Amino acid sequence: MSAWEAVIGLEIHSQLKTKTKIFATDPYQYGELANTQAGPVTLALPGVLPVLNQEVLDLAILAGLALNCKIAEITKFDRKHYFYPDLPKAYQISQYDMPYAVDGRVEYAIPKTQGEHLVRIHRIHMEEDAGKLLHSHHPDMQVSYVDLNRAGVPLIEIVTEPDLRTSTEAYYFLATLRNILRYVSVTDGNMEEGSLRCDANVSVRPGPDAPFGTRVEIKNLNSFRAVQAAIDYEIERQIDVLESGGQVIQSTVLWDADARVTRLMRTKEDAEDYRYFPEPDLPPFYIAPAKVKKIANSMPELPDAKRKRYEAEYQLPPYDAAVLTQEKEIAEYFEATVKVCGDPKKSSNWVKDEVLGVINKQDIALTDFVCTPARLGRLIQLIASGDLTSKMAKQVFEHIYTDDMDVDAIIQKHGYKQMDNAELPALVNKLMAAHPDNVTKIKGGNERVKGFFVGQIMKATRGQANPGELNRLIDEWLQKSTS
């Protein structure tokens, strides 16, 4: 039996965050009442003409640059014909042989494994989205409805080279790509709402030196989990077909997320089936290098650069820097916290160990979290100043997000206060004198027994003793008793 290797290439559609559509002035927002955002151009009424939205071009170029593509000087739109009720014109305005961006590259890392991976971007083109069909399966009458709100919404389609080899690689590449596009604010990247959609092309071959096998394109992948599960399913299916002497047929399949299987949709159509030809209503156009340069200069810091800056500027370990920059919101939250408290390492620990834990458990967005950077920053300030022990700080933190209150108000209400240091020496003296056996152990070199004394006093003071002062007093006591 051979060691099968999978080959995977992705086609990613990403909605651009513009106010209006790609060729029309209709506004678009997700979730509005059906057909309330579809004017004459979207409906393809007779006599209407498309006009390119300049913001679409700017955002598309920004995305292209963020993915390290070359931006074309001349580009054009083409008509791609197919007949379907969600497409009023019976053709989609897309780009065929002169896409606006080519030859990009994206580096990504897989946590817990070594090294960086690379995916080459074959091309990116602009196109318009189609509407949405809604099917109702009433026993007496089956009806389909069409909602054209989404028709004409600007998309970029990003086509990768077949550089991926496992579903895990596909997962982390897609996460990185989404992150980059969100960093530069060209899309909100929400897969559930369809603003980021991924099709996966999958084939298998007998080994890394064999020629590529026949590919199957999987559609309808609307979550990261679906991308990974569908690819894994399809790899297994193709291996089964080949090992039982069959052949993989080039085709398009749909992922059924409930049944967790792929289902045949059509055997692959060729480009000729679409009867592509240049869009006569939108002549080819020139993208001035000066325009591209201006957009490049306005590009915000990308995740990779931010990660390296966190290591250098904040002296954070690589793991911390990677976690904090994995999402734009996390990085913004972290930096706002540092601004308040001035302590990058403590901020990093609190954000990655506490804040993200609560966010994930409660399944809420970081931007909706009631423990704002201002509140977390204040909390960290009070730990640094010695007003709160870390144990108390954790309790205060819990109050912040359960009671939605400010740090100082919580401390006042519940009486969280670090004990007066003046009361500590008496407690230390008494405890040390009561346990000569443990004192002997420490003197014999077993430093860990010190933890026993710290623990006992913390228990007696309900965690309100200052740990720094406590350790200092214990050391002092030990030194005195030796001399």
Residues that bind ligand ADP (CB under 6 A): 7-11, 159-162, 201-203, 212-213, 215
Nearer to ligand ADP, 12 or 427 (CB): 12
Smallest distance, Å, CB 194 to ligand ADP? 20
Q: Which two tokens stand for residue 3?
A: 């060691």
Nearer to ligand ADP, 48 or 175 (CB): 175
Tokens 């027994």 appear where? 449
Smallest distance, Å, CB 200 to ligand ADP? 8
Q: Which residues of 342-377 are buried (b: 16+ CB within 10 A; e: fewer)?
A: ebbebbbbbbbebbbebbeeeeeebeebebbbebbb
Q: How far apart are CA 377 and CA 405, in angstroms?
A: 14
Nearer to ligand ADP, 213 or 344 (CB): 213
Smallest distance, Å, CB 11 to ligand ADP? 5
Smallest distance, Å, CB 58 to ligand ADP? 26
Q: How far apart are CA 321 and CA 308, in angstroms?
A: 7
Smallest distance, Å, CB 239 to ligand ADP? 14
Contact (CB, 8 A) for 74 and 286: yes
Q: Which two tokens stand for residue 31?
A: 């979730």
Contact (CB, 8 A) for 303 and 329: no
Smallest distance, Å, CB 167 to ligand ADP? 13
Nearer to ligand ADP, 220 or 381 (CB): 220
Smallest distance, Å, CB 77 to ligand ADP? 17
Smallest distance, Å, CB 120 to ligand ADP? 9
Nearer to ligand ADP, 276 or 452 (CB): 276
Nearer to ligand ADP, 197 or 215 (CB): 215
Burial of 254 (0-12, 13-18, 19+ CB in 10 A): middle
Smallest distance, Å, CB 4 to ligand ADP? 13
Nearer to ligand ADP, 202 or 419 (CB): 202
Nearer to ligand ADP, 10 or 226 (CB): 10
Burial of 76 (0-12, 13-18, 19+ CB in 10 A): middle
Nearer to ligand ADP, 273 or 313 (CB): 273
Nearest residue (beta carbon) to ligand ADP: 9
Nearer to ligand ADP, 273 or 403 (CB): 273
Contact (CB, 8 A) for 59 and 18: yes
Q: How far apart are CA 373 and CA 343, in angstroms?
A: 13
Smallest distance, Å, CB 24 to ligand ADP? 28
Q: Which two tokens stand for residue 476?
A: 């002092």
Tokens 């580009």 appear where? 75
Smallest distance, Å, CB 196 to ligand ADP? 16
* Residue 254: φ, ψ to 5°: -110, 140
469 to each of 277, 419, 426, 453, how far by Cα in Å? Answer: 79, 11, 13, 13
Nearest to 18 by CA among 54, 58, 56, 51: 56
Nearer to ligand ADP, 93 or 424 (CB): 93
Smallest distance, Å, CB 154 to ligand ADP? 21
Nearer to ligand ADP, 82 or 286 (CB): 82
Pairing of strands 91-94, 78-81: antiparallel
